[in-house]
Amino acid sequence: MSTINPKNTVPTDRESGILNRQPSNTNYAFASNFHLSIPKIRLGTYFCTEVGFPEMTCEPVRLQVPFAPSLKFFGDKVTHGDLTVKFIINEDYSNYNQMNDWFKNTLVYEDFFKTGTDLGFSAMTNIGHLLILSNKKNPVARFRFNGMFITNLTSIDYNSALTDASIATATATFQFSSYDLDDI
């Protein structure tokens, strides 16, 4: 916490000199250094190739003023987008089937009632973690997504006309209630 020196109004935690203005870490953050962990789809995390981190928006409150542009103030509601995960489908389709089963269990499907127990909302949602790694693969941040549930699972495209062997991939979209940045 900085304090203000009353004599010259310069914060006391600042040191003068050009060498003291350099950042302590000049490494760039690589978008390939992450690890996704969702307990309901344990087989999907190893084959995860891409994560689309959700955006956040806050609409401003506008106050109409006669004969002038409207005044804008901070809004009262923050919304976030979807979490998208692209993954490679393994040869026995077990990771795709885990997501497919979770998707079907969140809806009123016949499979939901086959268990004979009342699963409730807690069985449909989950907590997921996105671990951000440094350039040396050490964890630097962990985002915890609360109340996750799957809302979209893309199709798997097959094409025998391709000359090169292509890898089967799919994309899953998740909604969540909130996310937090946890200490490492």
Distance CA(61)–CA(56), nearest Å, equals 16
Q: What is the pLDDT of residues 101-113, one digit of tens each?
A: 888 777 655 544 5
Ordered by start, the domain boundaries in the chain are: 28-182
Mean predicted lDDT score pLDDT of the chain = 79
Distance CA(18)–CA(126), nearest Å, equals 48
pLDDT of residue 16: 64
User: What is the architecture, at CATH level 2, of domain 28-182?
Assistant: Roll (2.30)
pLDDT of residue 2: 52
Provide mean pLDDT across the span 22-48: 78
Half-sphere exposure of 99 (CA within 13 A, CB side): 28
* pTM summary value: 0.70
Contact 148, 128 (CB under 8 A): yes
**Exposed, middle or buried by CB within 10 Å (0-12, 13-18, 19+), for 125?**
buried
